Amino acid sequence: MTPAVALDRAAELLICARRVLVITGAGLSADSGLPTYRGIGGLYEEAATEEGVPIEVALSGQMLRQRPQLTWKYLLQIEAACRGAQPNAGHLALARMSTHFQSFTVLTQNVDGLHRQAAQPQLIEIHGNLHRLLCDECACRWQVQDYDALQAPPRCEDCHGPVRPEVVLFGEMLPVPALQQLEAALDRGVDLVLSVGTSSGFPYIAGPVVQAARIGVPTVEINPGLTDVSAVVEVRLPERAAVALPQLLRRLEGDRR
């Protein structure tokens, strides 16, 4: 299937759908200037950090408890990499698409908050959001624009307890409310599953795509590179999300240019 044919077929599937599940990853935010986690141009391409431990260990829940200053060192780096980023054409296209469907749920692994900035409704931030902070002792929550004013590792102003961002670190459980939102969306049924800019390396990310393909629900992938679900999707668009999604939106709204 040529890219042009794949684009037309993806648009046909989108136009025919009423209930859509979109799964997004770091590749969607790449055109906002954010590095992907791994791979070419990734924030952490080396095998180990300066401290000699894998980044997955440095950014684990266990390390946050044992050596919070180490985990916060890399949390600050990630937040700095996101600083000032704005939603790109892909984020904006998805937010506008949502108005054309009975149900349009976006499940994102990204913690950068760009979907929220784009005013995406029906959003599930399965890994949380860097800009929401939580006190582990008094459970106080608050929103921050950036980490500039934080003394790392930060302490709660109310009880002086340890503070963390509301994100899922390695080795931690996924948030129950987000899982319940995803389960509810799947229970309502979907007519199309669209995977965008994600390697689909986690079972809960690949699972909805694989299950949909297994039962005959149309599946589309937008990703320049091959991923763990490339072999099972019905339509694969080897393109950047910020290019492909606006093209799909134009076709959805009746403009085939």
- Active-site residue list: 127
Q: Are 194 and 22 in contact (CB under 8 A)?
A: yes
Alpha-carbon distances, residue 184 vs 66, 177, 180, 188 (angstroms):
36, 10, 6, 6
- What is the C-alpha separation between 105 and 21, in angstroms, rounded? 5
Contacts of 129 (CB under 8 A, 6+ apart): 111, 113, 116, 165, 166, 167
- What is the C-alpha separation between 137 and 96, in angstroms, rounded? 40
Alpha-carbon distances, residue 8 vs 131, 165, 193, 249 (angstroms):
38, 41, 16, 12
Sign of CA dihedral 231, 232, 235, 239: negative
Nearest to 244 by CA among 11, 2, 42, 1: 11
The one-letter code for the residue type at 20 is V
Helices within 151-256 (DSSP H only): 176-188, 203-215, 241-252
